[in-house]
């Protein structure tokens, strides 16, 4: 974004000019996700939450804009099979859609524009382009950040099964979802110093709202034991209550907002993909740590957790502070990595987080 007061050029998702501190309004946030991820529903909820706070926002669905132009040109068009159309026709429809978005941005420069789009498709056995890279040239100066919505594979599968996409293989969806996130990173990098976030579809809309409109709020990854307490309802409730409490002043990435790996134990069609899903889940959780400012580790009781140990190790390797709560002293216990700070009292732990991260 370019500050109107001092012409300082800044592409990160900041709401104030880093040079003169003038408020910088408007801009674009590109939000991606593969078909069936529920991106539209997520963004409609974010739009509603922003409007309730009096924030100027406009939602653009590239697919719906393309559909409108296609139907105006040919009322009998079979939109559900549009990806079978000639690539030249698809490029034309995309160009028309982005012309409309560009005009909206030009006429409403102080409005935040949420753009819902797909970067890729696996309609056939090969990867298809969903976005024209050269389009970025016109939008790059206005981009605040990119966000990729990560939905559970089983939910994507069930949604697509009810459409002309049909019964897609889970492994195909896993690969496609990873490709979409990879491409989102590439496009964010192509725009310069633009942040790129992965956000689980089941997270509350306040997560995305705060990422966009309140980048000054610190972001944390919440790490906690899962397998060791899967039968302990009380411990699970303690984790949820703590998570909701610190969301009053932090953006919290919750690993349990996505339950792909759990589904490999419950669904027969996922069981043989446990290795692939497990590796993807591990990589996704590390991604959440990388996009956070710190890792907050919460043990409702003293148990062993290889997953938490691995996440603490990753945080240490990447230089992220580690804040640990456990009702017992971790000395000599199951903790493989020494934390930056430790508390055994919940109230003291919340106070610590406010002091360190607010």
Give the pLDDT confidence of 262-287 residue by residue, as tens digits. 999 888 888 999 999 999 999 999 99
Q: Are 10 and 17 in contact (CB under 8 A)?
A: yes
- Pair 60, 175: CB distance under 8 Å: no
Q: Going from the N-terminus, what domains does the chain have, and what CATH number goes with each?
A: 1-216 (3.40.50.300), 218-358 (3.40.50.450)
Answer yes or no: are the C-beta atoms of 208 and 49 closer than 8 Å. Answer: no
Torsion of CA 130, 134, 139, 140, to 10 degrees: 110
Contact status, residue 314 vs residue 298, Cβ threshold 8 Å: no
Residue ranges, the chain, pLDDT below 50 = 1, 7, 9-13, 332
Which contiguous run of DSSP H or E holds residue 298?
strand 294-298
pLDDT tens figures, 284-327: 999 999 999 999 999 999 898 999 999 999 999 999 999 999 99
In SS3 terms, 69-114 reads as HHHHHCCCCCHHHHHHCCHHHHHHHHHHHHHHHHHHHHHCCCCEEE
Distance CA 358, CA 355 (A): 6
Note the pLDDT of residue 193: 78
In this structure, the strands spanning 57-61 and 120-121 are: unpaired
d(CA 79, CA 96): 16
CA 152 to chain centre: 13
Structure tokens at 316: 């240490």
Surface-to-core class of residue 214, CB atoms within 10 Å of its CB (0-12 exposed, 13-18 middle, 19+ buried): exposed
Closest CA relative to residue 179, chosen from 231, 233, 122, 133: 122
**Cβ(154)–Cβ(270) below 8 Å:** yes
Residue 315 three-state SS: helix
- How many C-alpha atoms does 142 have within 13 Å on its Cβ side? 24
């Amino acid at each position: 974004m370019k500050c109107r007061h001092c012409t300082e050029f800044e592409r990160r998702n900041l709401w104030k000019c880093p040079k003169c501190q003038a408020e910088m309004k408007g801009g674009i946030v590109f939000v991606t996700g593969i078909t069936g991820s529920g991106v539209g529903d997520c963004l409609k909820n974010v739009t509603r939450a922003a409007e309730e706070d009096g924030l100027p926002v406009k939602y653009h669905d590239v697919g719906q804009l393309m559909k409108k132009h296609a139907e105006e040109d040919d009322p009998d068009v079979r939109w559900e099979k549009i990806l079978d159309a000639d690539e030249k026709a698809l490029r034309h429809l995309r160009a028309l859609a982005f012309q409309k978005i560009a005009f909206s941005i030009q006429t409403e420069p102080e409005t935040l524009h949420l753009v819902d789009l797909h970067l890729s498709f696996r309609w056939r056995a090969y990867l298809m382009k969903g976005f024209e890279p050269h389009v970025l040239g016109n939008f790059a100066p206005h981009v605040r950040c990119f966000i990729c919505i990560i939905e559970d594979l089983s939910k994507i599968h069930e949604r697509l099964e009810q459409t002309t996409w049909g019964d897609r293989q889970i492994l195909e969806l896993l690969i496609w979802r990873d490709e979409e996130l990879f491409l989102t990173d590439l496009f964010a990098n192509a725009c310069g110093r633009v942040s790129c976030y992965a956000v689980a579809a089941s997270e509350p809309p306040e997560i995305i709202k705060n990422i966009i409109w309140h980048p000054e709020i610190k972001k944390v990854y919440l790490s906690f034991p899962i397998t060791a307490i899967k039968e302990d309802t009380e411990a699970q409730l303690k984790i949820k209550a703590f998570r909701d409490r610190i969301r009053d002043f932090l953006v919290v990435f919750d690993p349990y907002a996505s339950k792909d790996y759990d589904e490999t134990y419950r669904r027969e069609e996922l069981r043989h993909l446990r290795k692939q899903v497990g590796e993807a889940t591990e990589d996704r959780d590390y991604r959440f740590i990388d996009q956070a400012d710190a890792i907050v580790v919460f043990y409702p009781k003293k148990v062993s957790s290889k997953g938490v140990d691995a996440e603490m190790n990753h945080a240490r390797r990447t230089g992220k502070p580690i804040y640990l709560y456990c009702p017992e002293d971790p000395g000599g216990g199951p903790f493989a990595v020494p934390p930056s700070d430790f508390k055994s009292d919940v109230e003291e732990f919340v106070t610590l987080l406010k002091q360190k991260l607010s």
